[in-house]
Amino acid sequence: MKKLQVWISACRLRTLPLSISGAIVGSGVAYSMGLFNLTVFVFTILTTLSFQILSNLANDYGDGVKGTDNENRIGPERALQSGIISPKQMRNAIIVNVIICLLLVLALVYQAFGADQFITSSVFIVLGVLAIIAAIKYTIGASAYGYKALGDIMVFLFFGWLSVLGTYFLYSKEIDFLMLLPASAIGLLSAGVLNLNNMRDFESDKLSDKHTLAGYLGLKNARNYHLTLILTAMVLMLLYFELSPQNISIWVIMIGFIPLFIHLSIFYKVASPKGYDPQLKVLALSTFLLALIFGACHILI
């Protein structure tokens, strides 16, 4: 039972709502245009969740074998760090998850494009493989980009642009550049979650020679950077609703901003890195709520 609990913890369930936020945004817009497909939606959510779980397991393994997850770290104890899960067992779990990801990508592409659109299907299969590689290379290997302050930009691209625009394309088979606004908003908020994580681990990452953007900026500038991420995301959302052809009141989406403002008010009262840890879940769930409200606005119009 203890080992099962550790495996569940290694999947980091609190990160899963954030991971599907972009898919909800893209699906909501597709629904408002009469393009929604339930089967595509289900496979999109399952594929996205599998990517996130793979990333979490790979992160646990990469930081574990590098010794980054140690007694100096503030967050919850990781699987390898606990000693209950061995590196070999975690590697096997990663391999199994990669296979699951690949199967789900193939199923999703087939459901969205069938057997006729070979080039489009091939592009999305390549994007799926790239997402798998990105999930693994965040902390694993000598060239792990999470150790070179590239995590924020990768989170922005994969959680924001690829998630929202890619999901919308699965339904519509076209790119709507107006969708860059909500896609960027979700990407920025997701980068904010990572920034909180890096601010929490600021001291332990320095000791472990893990270079993050927060580490380069310093805590004071990282706090200003965090404020910029959240406020810019809200401005982009407002701009989307102002420019959108859909007849949706701009005041509705502002309801989703309330948890974000509450988060910022608490964030600026945090006096020690440990205080950032609870805000990881708060910001992740606030982003998920914003995505749900965004989707509901397009479904109920």
What pLDDT shows up at residue 1? 56
Strand segments, DSSP code E, in the chain are: none
Residue 257 is classified by DSSP as G
Residue 29 has pLDDT above 90, yes or no: yes
Tell whether the model's pLDDT for residue 125 goes beyond 90.
yes
CA distance 137 to 256: 33
pLDDT one-digit tens code per residue, 224-254: 999 999 999 999 999 999 998 877 778 888 9
**Is pLDDT at 203 greater than 70 in this prediction?**
yes
Highest-confidence segment of 9-13, 17-21, 250-254? 17-21
What b-and-e string marks burial along 83-110, b requiring 16 or more CB atoms within 10 Å of the CB?
ebbeeeebeebbeebbebbbebbbebbe
Quick one: what percent of the chain has pLDDT higher than 90? 71
**pLDDT average, residue stretch 275-291:** 95
Per-residue pLDDT tens for 141-200? 888 999 999 999 999 999 999 999 999 999 999 999 999 999 999 999 999 999 999 999
User: Quick one: pLDDT at residue 91?
Assistant: 95
Residue 81 C-alpha from the chain's centroid = 23
pLDDT digits (tens, 9 = 90+) for 205-224: 888 888 999 999 999 999 99
User: Does residue 288 surpass a pLDDT of 80?
Assistant: yes
Whole-number Å distance between alpha carbons of 191 and 197 = 10
Task: Please report where in the chains the tokens 């959302």 appear, as a residue.
Answer: 237
Look at residue 17 in the predicted model and tell me its pLDDT: 95
Q: What is the mean pLDDT of residues 114-140?
A: 93
Instruction: For residues 242 and 228, give the distance between their C-alpha atoms in angstroms, rounded to a whole number.
Output: 21
